[in-house]
Amino acid sequence: MFDEKSILNTIENGILIVDPDLKIIFWNRWLALQTGISRQEAEGRLLSDLFPETGFNLLKRKVKIALKLGSSTFTSSSVEKYIIPIKLQQITKSTFNHMRQEVVISPLSEERASIIIYDNTALLEAKAVIDENLQIMEKQATTDTLTGCYNRKMFNDLLSAEVKKADRHSKIFSLIIFDIDNFKSVNDTYGHLAGDDVLIEIGGLTKAIIRQSDYFARWGGEEFAVLLPETTLQGAALLAEKIRAGIMSHRFAEIGNLTCSFGVAQFVPDEAKDTLISNADWALYHAKNNGKNQVAVFENSEIRTWYRPDSH
């Protein structure tokens, strides 16, 4: 023969029975071990007396609801963190100070509810690690590791989304593609590490010039692209010129001065994403062949030079 209630003391979860004021009627062994408060000390006292620092409004409400509903209520460790404060020992090297708890409150009679406490700390710690890794992976999947701007795949996705938006809500947007002039000779003369530094610096310069709403990506080896939502061709060309001037006046460590060439195009409703890219590409090609260090735009199926420093 055994006392069925003694099972409650063998379970590795916290179990307590309370009345609506949260006076403790029963306090199991697990709780005694975790809190250092013995059964004799706990039973007959208010939960708020045992833990004066802790607010119990939520638990009180949950008990009230469970008694009224006649069915269980719950608290979630992802929202409430804990119900009964149990300090975690430092040896566990947890990221949390307190045990994270998932709690089920069930009505036993009109004036009594049971509270079962599950330790969710390990689960949430694992989840935190996974979430963090997922974030890193997501970042890696969308950014160019060298320059920290978006990679080509992400830029393509952003471009597709912008095309959809433009078609659906008749929004306009423009695209800039630019390329470092004579980059091959930088690599050949100063080495690839110096070349990498140039790419990083140009990335930084461009980011400082573009607006918050623009998207900036490394398009290929020494090629970059900027997507400018709600921007006309003129607006985009002006911004391209700003970037061009910014890069031209910058002194790169080791190498000195560098220039870039720019192709700009505005999205034409109903055209394909690839048409926009090839239009900007075509303008860029024109800028290169026309003497580099300049901005060329694609407009009405024609290319024209927007700005060339020596033309003034």
Partner 1 sequence: MIQEELPEELQEVLGELINIAFGSATATIADLFDNFATLHVPAISFVALDELDTFIFQDFNLQDVYTTTQQFKGRFQGEVVFAMDRHSARNMQRIIFADEGPGSQEILDDDELKQSILEISNILGSSCIGKLAELLGTNVTFAPPSIEFADTLTQERRALSYRHIIVISTVLDFKDMEVAGKLFIMFTDEMFNWLHTALNNYLENI
Q: Which of 14, 42, 63, 73 binds partner 1 (CB under 8 A)?
A: 73
CA-CA-CA-CA dihedral for 14, 19, 21, 26, to nearest 10: -40
Spatial contact of 276 and 267, defined as CB atoms under 8 Å apart: yes
Containing 14, the helix (H) or strand (E) segment is: strand 14-18
CB 47, min distance to partner 1, A: 17
Active site residues: 222
The residue (of 103 and 264) whose beta carbon lies closer to partner 1 is 103
Q: Which stretch binds partner 1 (CB under 8 A): 46-54, 64-72, 252-260, 281-289?
A: 64-72
Phi, psi of 63 (to 5 degrees): -65, -45
Q: Which of 33, 58, 126, 141 binds partner 1 (CB under 8 A)?
A: 58
Rounded to whole angstroms, the Cα distance separating 241 from 253 reads: 23
How many whole angstroms separate alpha carbon 241 and alpha carbon 107? Answer: 71
The answer to the question of residue 68 lying near partner 1 (CB under 8 A) is yes
Residue 74 touching partner 1 (CB under 8 A): yes
* Token couple for 235: 């607006």
71 binds partner 1 (CB under 8 A): yes
Q: What sections of the chain are H helices per DSSP?
A: 29-35, 39-42, 47-50, 57-69, 121-142, 152-169, 183-190, 192-209, 233-248, 273-289
Determine the size of the site formed for partner 1 (CB under 8 A). 19
Cβ at position 123, least distance to partner 1 in Å: 13
Q: How far is the CB of 133 from partner 1 (least distance, A)?
A: 19
Task: Examine residue 37 and tell whether it contacts partner 1 (CB under 8 A).
Answer: no
* Secondary structure class of 199 (helix, strand, coil): helix
Query: Given the rule CB under 8 A, which of 66-74, 208-216, 227-235, 247-255 is the region that contacts partner 1?
Result: 66-74
Q: Which residues make up the interface to partner 1 (CB under 8 A)?
A: 57-58, 61, 64-65, 68-76, 78-80, 102, 104
